[in-house]
């Protein structure tokens, strides 16, 4: 049986459509993160970039994202291996680390909603940075599924609850 493209190719070998389809749509990379001063640990909040659309769980202007939000990091096969703040469940990170995609990834399930139904996205559970003050960010630290210290995920650990 022919293997799917993400098992056959490295990230740098992917075509543009393959690269784009690898994003599971979790939205976790669009969350504002804080750094613990003592431990240096990265902490997620439930506050998103102002361009994030919480209903679609996608960037509100993906094509122009770098123009609209200069801090937005455009992922590529090189930087994805260097960005230690990328979510642990991020498909790009998983593939870069030689791991497989989870069952709930839309490419595996064939269902674009499976990432949401499995509880692995931030869809409709977040606020925009436009709606909270920076002083409030500390009160909005949350642990997202798959991102906690105890979440030593192995391939397939997270069952698709859809």
Q: Does 91 bind ligand SF4 (CB under 6 A)?
A: yes
| Closer residue to ligand SF4 (CB): 2 or 17 | 17
Q: Does 108 bind ligand SF4 (CB under 6 A)?
A: no
**Cα separation, 7 vs 80, whole angstroms:** 17
Q: In what order do the strands lie in the sheet with 42-48?
A: 31-35, 42-48, 127-128
| Closer residue to ligand SF4 (CB): 38 or 70 | 70
| Closer residue to ligand SF4 (CB): 1 or 73 | 73
Q: Does 28 bind ligand SF4 (CB under 6 A)?
A: yes
Q: Does 51 bind ligand SF4 (CB under 6 A)?
A: yes
Q: Does 32 bind ligand SF4 (CB under 6 A)?
A: no
Given a contact cutoff of 8 angstroms between Cβ atoms, the answer to whether 89 and 99 are in contact is no
How far, in Å, are 51, 57, 68, 74, 162 from residue 128 at the CA level? Answer: 8, 12, 15, 20, 27
| Closer residue to ligand SF4 (CB): 1 or 67 | 67
Q: Does 52 bind ligand SF4 (CB under 6 A)?
A: yes
Q: Does 24 bind ligand SF4 (CB under 6 A)?
A: yes
Q: Does 26 bind ligand SF4 (CB under 6 A)?
A: yes
Q: Does 87 bind ligand SF4 (CB under 6 A)?
A: yes
How far, in Å, are 56, 106, 132, 138, 157 from residue 25 at the CA level? Answer: 9, 9, 24, 25, 19
How far, in Å, are 77, 92, 116, 128 from residue 20 at the CA level? Answer: 12, 10, 18, 24
| Closer residue to ligand SF4 (CB): 47 or 75 | 75
Q: What are phi and psi for residue 112, nearest 5 degrees?
A: -60, -15
Q: Does 25 bind ligand SF4 (CB under 6 A)?
A: yes
3-state SS assignment for residue 127: strand
Give the interface with ligand SF4 as residue ranges (CB under 6 A).
Answer: 23-30, 49, 51-52, 59, 65, 69, 72, 75, 87, 90-92
């Amino acid at each position: 049986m022919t293997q799917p493209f993400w098992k056959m190719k490295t990230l740098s070998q992917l075509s543009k459509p393959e690269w784009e389809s690898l994003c599971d749509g979790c939205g976790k990379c669009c969350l504002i993160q804080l750094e613990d001063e003592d431990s240096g640990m990265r902490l997620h909040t439930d506050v998103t970039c102002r361009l994030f659309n919480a209903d679609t769980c996608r960037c509100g202007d993906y094509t122009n994202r770098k123009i609209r939000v200069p801090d937005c990091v455009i992922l590529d096969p090189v930087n994805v291996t260097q960005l230690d703040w990328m979510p642990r469940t991020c498909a790009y990170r998983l593939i870069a680390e030689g791991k497989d995609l989870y069952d709930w990834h839309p490419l595996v399930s064939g269902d674009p909603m499976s990432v949401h139904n499995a509880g692995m996205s931030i869809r409709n559970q977040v606020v925009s940075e436009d709606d909270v003050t920076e002083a409030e960010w500390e009160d909005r630290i949350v642990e997202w599924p798959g991102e906690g210290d105890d979440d030593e995920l192995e391939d397939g650990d997270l069952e698709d609850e859809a």
